[in-house]
Copies of this chain bind each other. A is one copy, B any other.
Amino acid sequence: MNSQPIGVFDSGIGGLTCLKELKELLPNEDIVYLGDTARVPYGTKSRETIAEYARQDIAFLKRYDVKMILVACGTVSSVMETVPIFEGSGVELYSGVISPAVKAACEATKNGRIGVIGTPATIRSGCYTSALKAIHTDIQVFSRACPMFVPLVENGYTDDDNKVTTLIAQEYLEEMARENIDTLIMGCTHYPLLKGVFAKVLGDGVTLISPGAEAARYAARMLGEKDMLCGSGGACRLYCTDSEELFAENVAAFLGSGINAEIKKCSL
Chain A residues with CB under 8 Å of chain B are 37-40, 44-46, 48-49, 147-148, 150-152, 154-155, 157, 163-164, 167-168, 241-243, 245-246
CB closest residue in chain B, given A152: B148
Nearest CB on B from A245, distance (A): 8
Identify which of B40, B46, B48, B164 contacts A168 (C-beta below 8 A).
Answer: B164
A245 to B39, CA, bound (A): 20
CB closest residue in chain B, given A244: B46
Task: For A241, list chain B residues within 8 Å (CB).
Answer: 49
Task: For A39, list chain B residues within 8 Å (CB).
Answer: 38-39
Task: For A45, list chain B residues within 8 Å (CB).
Answer: 37-38, 242-243, 246
Can you list 8 pairs linking A and B with CB atoms under 8 Å apart?
A39-B39, A40-B44, A45-B246, A49-B242, A147-B151, A147-B155, A148-B155, A150-B151
A154 to B41, CA, bound (A): 13
A147 to B150, CA, bound (A): 12
Q: State whether A243 and B46 are in contact (beta carbons under 8 Å apart), knowing that A38-B39, A164-B164 are contacts in the complex.
A: yes
Task: For A243, list chain B residues within 8 Å (CB).
Answer: 45-46, 48-49
Task: For A168, list chain B residues within 8 Å (CB).
Answer: 164
Given contacts A148-B155, A151-B151, 17 further A-B contacts (CB under 8 A): A38-B39, A38-B45, A39-B39, A44-B154, A45-B242, A46-B242, A46-B243, A48-B243, A49-B242, A49-B243, A147-B151, A147-B154, A150-B151, A163-B167, A164-B164, A164-B167, A164-B168
Nearest CB on B from A164, distance (A): 5
Task: For A246, list chain B residues within 8 Å (CB).
Answer: 44-46
CB closest residue in chain B, given A156: B147
CB closest residue in chain B, given A164: B167
CB closest residue in chain B, given A145: B155
Nearest CB on B from A188, distance (A): 14
CB closest residue in chain B, given A47: B243
